[in-house]
Amino acid sequence: MTISMSSASLPVFKTMLGNLSHILDKAQAHVEARKLDPVVLLQYRLSPDMLPFTRQVLIACDAAKNGVARISGVEAPKFDDTEATFPELKARIQKTLDYLATVPVDKLDGSEAKEITFPVGRDNTRTMKAEAYLKHWALPNFFFHITMAYAILRHNGVELGKSDYLLGGAT
């Protein structure tokens, strides 16, 4: 039996975005319990040349919505990237989940050989077949940014474990 493009994308994006939202809840609780300035955590970077926490969350959302949009042909909403608080980031995740819920499965399934051209950096593009794009670009990029958000929070003392990353609030 083969795996479908919809089953390889939509549930994965939805689950991990839900887990990311759970992680944000724990980060906000951490900040409130310790009476910390949330901006410090929201703008934290693991390295000077890395993007801050907030951008990691925004890019993870964009990787999910734009990846599905490119494969399905269903136009993705444009977001302004103005989120600057935990509640605003959670709302961004929810808007992304709301969009994913509108994408018909039949727009994804059967698209494996479709040519996908997408931006790489500011001035370049790359073209791949949809299946390769999903497996080797969209999903790895998505997981990278969620992992970086998790790592930033862990580095700053937010009590997170592997189960928060993999299961979110589910047990």
Residue 125 has pLDDT above 80, yes or no: yes
74 within 8 A of 102, measured Cβ to Cβ: yes
Q: Is residue 96 part of a domain?
A: yes
Q: Is residue 69 part of a domain?
A: yes
Looking at the DSSP assignment, which residues form a beta bridge with residue 123? none
Which residues, including other chains, have CB under 8 Å from residue 141's CB and lie 6 or more apart? 59, 63, 67
Q: What is the DSSP string of 39-96?
A: HHHHT--SSTTSPPHHHHHHHHHHHHHHHHHHHH-PPPPP------SHHHHHHHHHHH
Q: Which domain CATH number covers 120?
A: 1.20.120.450
Residue-wise pLDDT tens digits, 74-89: 999 999 999 999 999 9
Look up residue 101 and give its two tokens: 């819920």
Residue-wise pLDDT tens digits, 31-70: 999 999 999 999 999 999 999 999 999 999 999 999 999 9
For the chain, what is the domain count?
A: 1
- Alpha-carbon distance values, 157 to 6, 23, 31, 35, 38 (Å): 36, 13, 10, 14, 13
Q: Is residue 5 part of a domain?
A: no
Q: Is residue 75 part of a domain?
A: yes
Q: What is the pLDDT of residue 121?
A: 87
Q: Is residue 1 part of a domain?
A: no
Range of the domain at 15: 10-167
Its pTM stands at 0.95
